[in-house]
Structure formats: structure tokens, C-alpha cells
Amino acid sequence: MPNDTLSPVAMLCLAILFRGDRTGYEIRKESVDGDYKYFAEASYGAIYPALARLAADGHVTVREEHQSGRPSKKIYAITAAGRTALLDLLAEPPAPDIFRSRFLLVAKFAAELPRSVVAAALETRRRTLTEEIAHLEEIAGDEGPAVDWIANYGITCMRASLAYLEAREADLLALAQAPVANAAE
Amino acid sequence: MPNDTLSPVAMLCLAILFRGDRTGYEIRKESVDGDYKYFAEASYGAIYPALARLAADGHVTVREEHQSGRPSKKIYAITAAGRTALLDLLAEPPAPDIFRSRFLLVAKFAAELPRSVVAAALETRRRTLTEEIAHLEEIAGDEGPAVDWIANYGITCMRASLAYLEAREADLLALAQAPVANAAE
DNA sequence: TGATCCATGTAAGCCGTTACATGATTGG
DNA sequence: CCAATCATGTAACGGCTTACATGGATCA
């Protein structure tokens, strides 16, 4: 195990493999659709090299499963060293959470944007929140107490967000530019 | 104006300059400490080249102010083209908000981590939220209705988050490993 | 029949961080 | 007196996305 600075994607892979064996393909799906999306999202171009490297470093093992007609599956499994590495990393720094909102930037410029744009942003945000809440409600209770805890955390935060949006969207729309033909001064 | 795909950092610069003239140094500060941190954070290495490029593209103008003893200040100002470019970009896609949480990953692995680690993560998260709420409470009402709207949005979401943390931190801690000497197998 | 899913991987390139280089002034 | 603030920039390096390459199976 030469180098020891796990990249975020490598950490993601270890976290997912901690719960069970997976292929690179499955890891990517879980990172995009599953609950791990709140930690990181990764594409194939990041996952496959990360996995290769984790294998070289002894953090995971590979078992190849040949299939007819398809490229043979590589099923990765975490090793004891991999578990330790992940847990050590999690114990380490309480790195801050990140929230990046394009929506909030639109809101900040509400007074300079046409009403239709602000309305669309509001609508999109509302729909996304509704969908994510529904998704979290599904997984809550299915996968043990820790997942339940974080699912409810998400639900709580998003419900508050949605409630604010619904209560005050009219105020934001009122700031926006009237939907006339062209906003020439 | 040769190319037209503004990078996130360029967009950040335009957004900040939209409200008034600034130097690169000031933009960076505002992106890290100010309210723009909810949109993007950028370092000098990203901001200075972005500004140079915006100037080349006619989105901003530069006015140099010589000072004794210091490198001369370059004060950037947005142009009409720059305003239009930003507003067009904001109107364009309702790109999704991003939430990335290291804390949630720790929570997910609560059952595998020592209690002290989970407690520290909880504590850090709680403190950060408290500080950010206080900060938002300060700026609310000071900078016009749009900023007020987003500040209150943030306050609402973070209060909900904090309330959940306080109500259910005991549950998460209960899942964690007892703080014994060494967690051998 | 055509899109989507399964399944792996590589290469080019962008975008951004980190560290370096420089140096006076101000505040504790 | 030392640290932080002001102030600009460059160079190296890293990590990730995107697009490419390949192709059978399944489903509508």
C-alpha cells in the first residue's frame, strides 16, 4: 500500500463497498441515484481508475465473473485494510458540509430577472424537493437505524425548505420584472 | 468577445460586480465570507485568470489605481454586455442545487465509529449551523428585499436542521461504538 | 426497430486548488 | 515584533467530466 491519500471518489467507493460487494457499474448507479448522492457523485471516468487503485493498494479485492456476450463483471469487495482506512478517514476531520445553490443566485437577482424566469426557478426547486422528500420517505425504515436517522434528517430539512418556498414565493415573484415584451430601460 | 461559455467562477465574478466595482482581492473575500458563498467559493488562482478573461471578452472593464508600496489595485467594473451575459445565464437552465455532506456520511457509519467521533461530528455541525444562522440574521434586512428573502430562507432551513440535530442527537450517539480502549475486531 | 440497460475502460482536456513569489502597512 | 491584511499574479499538479470505443440483451 504505497500512497495513502484517498480521493473523495475512492472514499465513496469504500463506503459503498463497506455494505456489500459491488461492480463499478453498480457503484456509479448508487452514487447518482442512491443515498450516497448526498456525499458525492461520480462518473465512470472517476470510479474505474479509483477502483483499480484501491485494488493496487490492497483496500479492495477483485473477483471476475465471466458472462456470455458482455464484458466480464468485476466484483469488488472491501478488505480489512479498506475498512480501517475508511473508518480512519471518517474519524479524522469534521470537514464542513457544502451547499451550493444556483436557485439562490436566481433569487438574489429576482429584481433584475423576468418574472417567468423566477417562477420557473421556484417551480423547479419545489418539484425537486417534493421528489426528494418522497424518495427519502421510501428508504426511511428500510435499512437500519442510521439510514433512518439520516433520511429523517433530510426529510426534516427539505420540508422546512419547501414550507418556506410555498409561504413566500409570492414575495419573491413580486420583486421580479413584469413579463412585458422587452425590458429596455 | 470570442468564446461564450462562462465558467462558474466567471459567473460569480459577474454576479458580485453587478452590485458594484471590486478588485480581485475583494471578490475573493466576498466569495468566501459573504453571502455568495452559497453559490460558489473561489481562490485567487481561479479569480484572477477569470477576471482577465472577462476583460478580454468585454464583460468587464479595468481601471488601475496606483498605490505606494503595494501592487497597484485593479478595479473591475461590469459592462452592459457583462450584465446581459449574466442575466442570460441565470435565465437559462434551472440547474439543480448541490448538497454535499461529510457529516451525513459519518452519521451513516455511526454504528461502526467510536462514540467520540460521532459526538465530535455532531458538535461541529451544530456549532457551524449556529454561527451561520447568526450571520444570516445580521444581514437580513440590511440589503434589500431579495437578500432578505434568501437570508430568511437560509435561516429557516438551518433552524430546522439544528432542531433535528438537537432533538435526535442522542439517538445517533446511541448507535455508536462504546468508547472503550481499542475496538479490536 | 430503436432505446435503454448492462458493463468496462481510455484519452483529452478543463477547471480549479495549492503553493510559490513579493512586499509594505497596520494592529495587537 | 509578529501576525494579519492588502494586493496581484504564475506554475505545477490533481481530479473529475466528457466523449469515445464496444456490443449483446431486453423491453416497449
Evaluate if residue A3 carries a pLDDT over 90. no
Contacts of A18 (CB under 8 A, 6+ apart): A78, A82, A83, A86, B109, B112
For residues A1 and A43, which has the higher predicted lDDT (pLDDT)?
A: A43
A118 and A106 Cβ atoms separated by less than 8 Å: yes
> Which among A18, A146, A160 has CB closest to B110?
A146
What pLDDT score does A69 carry? 66
- Interface check for B84 against chain A (CB to CB < 8 A): the answer is no
Collect all residues of chain B within an 8 Å Cβ-Cβ radius of residue A165: 153
Q: Find where cell 423566477 sits.
A: A118
Please tell me the pTM assigned to this model: 0.92
Read off the DSSP letter of residue A75.
E
- Which residues partner with B65 through β-bridges? B73
Q: From B152, which residue of chain A is nearest by alpha-carbon distance?
A: A164
CA–C1' span, B82 to D6, in Å?
27
Q: How far is B67 from chain A (nearest CA, A)?
A: 34
Q: How many CB pairs under 8 A join A and B?
A: 178
Q: What is the pLDDT of residues A26-63, one digit of tens each?
A: 999 999 988 899 999 999 999 999 999 999 999 999 99
> Which among A102, A157, A164 has CB closest to B153?
A164
Nearest Cα to Cα of residue A87 among B95, B113, B116, B31 = B113
- Interface check for B114 against chain A (CB to CB < 8 A): the answer is yes
For residues A74 and A141, which has the higher predicted lDDT (pLDDT)?
A: A74
- Which residues partner with A99 through β-bridges? B99
Collect all residues of chain B within an 8 Å Cβ-Cβ radius of residue A153: 104, 107, 161, 164-165, 168
Collect all residues of chain B within an 8 Å Cβ-Cβ radius of residue A168: 149, 152-153
CA angle (A62, A64, A70) in 5-degree steps:
135
What pLDDT score does A127 carry? 94
* DSSP E strands, chain B: 60-65, 73-78, 98-100
Strand D: residues with CB below 7 A: A 5, 7-9, 41-46, 50, 68-71; B 23-26, 29, 44-45, 48-49, 51-52, 67, 70-75
Give the containing element (helix H, strand E) for B176: none
CA–C1' span, B7 to C13, in Å?
15
CA distance linking residue A62 with residue A73, whole number of Å: 10
- Give me the tens of pLDDT residue by residue for chain B, a chain 185 residues long: 444 678 999 999 999 999 999 999 999 999 998 889 999 999 999 999 999 999 999 999 999 998 876 778 999 999 999 999 999 999 987 789 999 999 999 999 999 999 999 999 999 999 999 999 999 998 888 789 999 999 999 999 999 999 999 999 999 999 998 876 555 54
Strand C: residues with CB below 7 A: A 23-26, 29, 44-45, 48-49, 51-52, 67, 70-75; B 5, 7-9, 41-46, 50, 68-71
What pLDDT score does B93 carry? 79
- Interface check for B56 against chain A (CB to CB < 8 A): the answer is no
